[in-house]
Amino acid sequence: MNIKRSEILIFALPKGRILEELMPLMKLTNIIPEKSFFDPKDRRLLFSSNIDWLQLIRVRSFDAATFVAFGGADLGVVGSDVLQEFNYPELYSPLDLMVGKCRLSLAKLKSDSIDEDYKYAWDQIKIASKYPGITKEYFANKGLNVDCIKMSGAIELAPSLGLSNYIVDLVSSGKTLKANGLEEVDRIADISSRLVVNRTAFKTRTKKIGEIISRFQEALNGKNT
């Protein structure tokens, strides 16, 4: 049965580790994707669910925020790091889903010394990160101006190859930092994944979006009891 876009909700879910952590919570909400959603050989990005008016898209975590903010999706799951980096005004975040927990940290090579009083010329210091907005804000709050190099991957290599003096990146266990000769200098923010909603969609589809929010709220309450 074909359903018009105006009659359905699109739910943007992030690929990878966060999706794996999210699935037990999804089961508690009784939102079940079609079987092919979990098939790595299936190249589709849009999938049905057990709710006839709810469809799911599987995208990169950064893209989930963009899809919801610009109306390609009505709601989604987005890390608080991404929310802070993009700061989209059209996103409303009603729930912390308590998955994808990690931290955003400033790190450097263990072999490099650091002036903990930041008295040397930080405007000459290069920071590699896929979070230039958060990075610049962090240092601006300290009254410092730094040169931020935006990278999408392999950020841990930047200091050892002379591309940057520091990195700002997500840290979970710290094993990746250690394997690349890095150490944390400061914890910038604690990160977790949030349920986000497009504000315009929430006004026009309040009942259906409210139902999804309620399902997640009840699942979180049950999980924490």
Q: Are residues 117 and 77 in the same domain?
A: no
Q: Is 7 helix (H, G, I), strand (E, B) or coil?
A: helix
Q: Are residues 52 and 71 in the same domain?
A: yes
Q: Are residues 20 and 79 in the same domain?
A: yes
Q: Are residues 95 and 9 in the same domain?
A: yes
How much is the pLDDT for 7?
81
Distance CA 137, CA 154 (A): 23
Q: Are residues 64 and 117 in the same domain?
A: no
Nearest one of 74, 77, 76 to 9, comparing CA atoms = 74
Instruction: Encode 57-87: b = buried (16+ Cβ within 10 Å), e = exposed.
Output: bbbebbbbbbbbbeebbbbbbbbbbbbbbbe
Q: Are residues 213 and 159 in the same domain?
A: no
* Residue 63 · residue 72 · CB < 8 Å: no
Q: Are residues 65 and 166 in the same domain?
A: no
| CATH code, domain carrying 25 | 3.40.190.10
Q: Are residues 44 and 82 in the same domain?
A: yes
**Domain containing residue 60:** 5-100+192-223
Mean pLDDT per 10-residue run, the chain (225 residues)? Answer: 73 94 96 91 91 95 96 97 96 97 95 59 81 94 90 94 94 93 95 98 96 97 75
How much is the pLDDT for 119?
45
How much is the pLDDT for 77?
98
Q: The tokens 């250690």 sit on which residue?
A: 178
Q: Are residues 19 and 64 in the same domain?
A: yes
Q: Are residues 16 and 94 in the same domain?
A: yes
How much is the pLDDT for 224?
67
Residue 174 dihedral angles phi and psi, to the nearest 5°: 90, 0
Q: Are residues 79 and 133 in the same domain?
A: no
Q: Are residues 96 and 108 in the same domain?
A: no
Nearest one of 52, 45, 48, 94 to 72, comparing CA atoms = 45
Q: Maximum distance among all alpha carbons in the chain?
A: 66
How much is the pLDDT for 122?
58
How much is the pLDDT for 128?
97
Q: Is 136 helix (H, G, I), strand (E, B) or coil?
A: helix
Distance CA 91, CA 78 (A): 10
How much is the pLDDT for 1?
45
Number of domains in the chain: 2
